Amino acid sequence: KHEKAIVLVAICLAVFALYGQSLGNNFVHDDEGQIVENPYIKSLDHLPKAVTSCIWEAYADECEGRTNYYRPLHSVSYLFTYFLNPSAGFFHLINLIYYVLLCFAVFLLAKKLLANKIAAYITAGIFLVHPMHTEGVLWIASVPELLYSIFVVLTLRIYLSNYKYKNWATASLFFVALLAKEPAIFIPAVLLIYDLLFKRTAFSQTS
């Protein structure tokens, strides 16, 4: 328990050291249409709208022709963020928090897969500082990428656990990941490949 708390604090400090300056940034590009000019994320009364429409409906009058994806968690995240604090800095803060949670989830998964603490630390560290993630952390509109990544990693981690209700938990996290971003649909294929590659020996021993 203490180790996890220490790792979480270390990740938090590292993320804010790397990306903390983003708290002074403003809304840019898609943020304008999705947040500044979107009345549907400015009141909790519009919560049903978050799950029945797309993030662009208010800006483009309709979703058809504007987007072909369904990501209700995107709107829900904006809705509650705006409710707490509508400033651009707070939206950037939420992105940083999401990234902290993602890096911590990666650490937990790496620790389970590699069965080696040092390797798990290195894996999480490389993931945290990798420049490929810069846009996802700094751009508010990248919330779907951060959210679905968190739930994808948690799905894999729960699947590898001995949790009594892991099947239900895995299915639930998979469903939530789908609500964040559609690429989460690949999760069952990943789990199948994992079983075929790493559980083949166990299957042959029991057959």
- Cβ distance 133 to 96 under 8 Å? no
Q: Give me the pLDDT at residue 10, please.
A: 95
Q: Give me the pLDDT at residue 1, please.
A: 64
- Gap between the Cα atoms of 121 and 129, Å rounded: 12
- Gap between the Cα atoms of 51 and 186, Å rounded: 22
Residues of the chain predicted below pLDDT 50: 201-207
Q: Give me the pLDDT at residue 138, please.
A: 93
Q: What is the pTM of this model?
A: 0.88
Q: Give me the pLDDT at residue 94, please.
A: 95
- Gap between the Cα atoms of 156 and 41, Å rounded: 31
Q: Give me the pLDDT at residue 203, please.
A: 40
